[in-house]
């Protein structure tokens, strides 16, 4: 029962995550790239180990495709390093063939048309490579090959993003494989990713989270609140001083408008004199003296 349930869950996950339209588009892209690369080999009569830029149809304008033809023993002995990809020595095609063709691709501004990762944004173009049997480049059939790297990784060197504000602290490497799966891995130094097999690759980052935006708003609100409180305290202090000053002015004016004292001359000086009111003495029996 548990096994049946597990199969059902996996089937539902596959159906909800697979996108037939995207698969058809990438398959059509692969076919166009393969045909263009082998047509270039036929026209150029290539030298082994030389890299040639493929002639692409007009509908693929903006992409870059190049192809190199190698002997399997050369790949085993020396590896290869072209177009930002470094395939290490002791690598063999699977199944084994005498000559192989490696087709390098840079999708350029077409990257987001063919590939996307939910919850992430591409910050570099999608680049990749695929391996084919090139023993007979005039054959009507194009045979895809696998690679065995004896455990050593293939490195992919990307150019730095054009946008300097991109935060690479959360960047990841994304590998898009032929079966439709996407594999994530940590990015190496200087925009370098590593892979174990052929495919297409890019560097991705998660978008700015709402939590980060709320945090920024909270900081701005806190600063504005502190400034507002300081301004209110300053205004209150100014009003208090104005109120006290006004009270002092009122008291001074009342003092100036109070009762005027008479003046008398004492010697050669004029001095104020208050009116003398004598209180008449009263006897205990109520009579006057």
256 shares a domain with 225: yes
Q: Which residues share a beta bridge with 148?
A: 92
On whether both 181 and 267 belong to a single domain, the answer is no
- pLDDT tens for each residue of 7-57: 333 333 333 344 444 556 778 888 899 999 999 998 887 788 899 999 888
Alpha-carbon gap, residue 203 to 186, rounded angstroms:
10
Residue 281 falls within a domain, yes or no?
Answer: no
User: Are 21 and 105 contained in the same domain?
Assistant: yes
Task: State the pLDDT at residue 11.
Answer: 35
What b/e sequence results for 209-232 when a residue is b if at least 16 CB atoms lie within 10 Å of its CB, and e otherwise? eeeeeeeeeeeeeeeeeeeeeeee
Q: Are residues 96 and 154 in the same domain?
A: yes
* Total number of residues shown for the chain: 289
Domain boundary pick from 207, 236, 258: 207
Positions of the chain with pLDDT lower than 70, given as ranges: 1-24, 162-166, 208-216, 248-289
181 and 127 share one domain: yes
Kindly state whether residues 222 and 183 are assigned to the same domain: no
Evaluate whether residue 227 is within a structural domain: yes
- What pLDDT shows up at residue 12? 35
Examine residue 119 and state whether it is found in any structural domain, yes or no: yes
**Phi, psi values for residue 225, rounded to 5°:** -65, -45
DSSP code at position 162: S
CATH code, 191: 2.60.220.50
Q: Are residues 202 and 216 in the same domain?
A: no
**Range(s) of the domain holding residue 63:** 2-207
- Cβ neighbours of residue 258 under 8 Å, at least 6 residues apart? none
Give domain status of residue 288, yes or no: no
The pLDDT of residue 253 is 67
Residue 53 lies in a domain: yes
* Residue 118, domain member (yes or no): yes
């Amino acid at each position: 029962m548990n096994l049946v349930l597990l199969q059902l869950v996996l089937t539902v996950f596959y159906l909800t995550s697979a996108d037939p339209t995207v698969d058809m588009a990438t398959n059509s892209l692969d076919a166009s790239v393969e045909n263009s690369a082998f047509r270039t080999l036929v026209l150029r009569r290539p030298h082994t180990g030389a890299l040639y830029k493929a002639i692409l149809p007009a509908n693929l304008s903006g992409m870059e495709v190049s192809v190199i033809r190698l002997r399997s023993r050369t790949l085993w002995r020396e590896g290869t390093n072209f177009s930002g990809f470094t395939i290490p020595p002791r690598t063999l095609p699977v199944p084994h063939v005498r000559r192989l063709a490696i087709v390098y691709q840079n999708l350029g501004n077409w990257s987001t048309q063919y590939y996307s990762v939910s919850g992430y944004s591409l910050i570099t173009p999608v680049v990749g490579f695929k391996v084919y049997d090139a023993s007979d480049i005039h054959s009507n059939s194009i045979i895809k090959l696998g690679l065995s790297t004896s455990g050593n990784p293939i490195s992919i060197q990307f150019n730095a993003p054009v946008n300097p504000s991109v935060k690479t602290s959360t960047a990841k490497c994304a590998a898009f494989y032929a079966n439709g799966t996407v594999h994530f891995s940590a990015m190496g130094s200087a925009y370098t990713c590593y892979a174990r097999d052929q495919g297409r690759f890019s560097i991705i980052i998660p978008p700015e989270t709402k939590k980060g935006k709320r945090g920024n708003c909270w900081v701005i609100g806190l600063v504005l609140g502190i400034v507002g409180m300081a301004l209110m305290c300053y205004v209150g202090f100014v009003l208090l001083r104005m109120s006290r000053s006004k009270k002092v002015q009122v008291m001074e004016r009342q003092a100036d408008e109070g009762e005027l004292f008479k003046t008398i001359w004492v010697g050669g000086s004029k001095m104020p004199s208050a009116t003398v009111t004598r209180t008449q003495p009263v006897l205990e029996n109520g009579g006057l003296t």
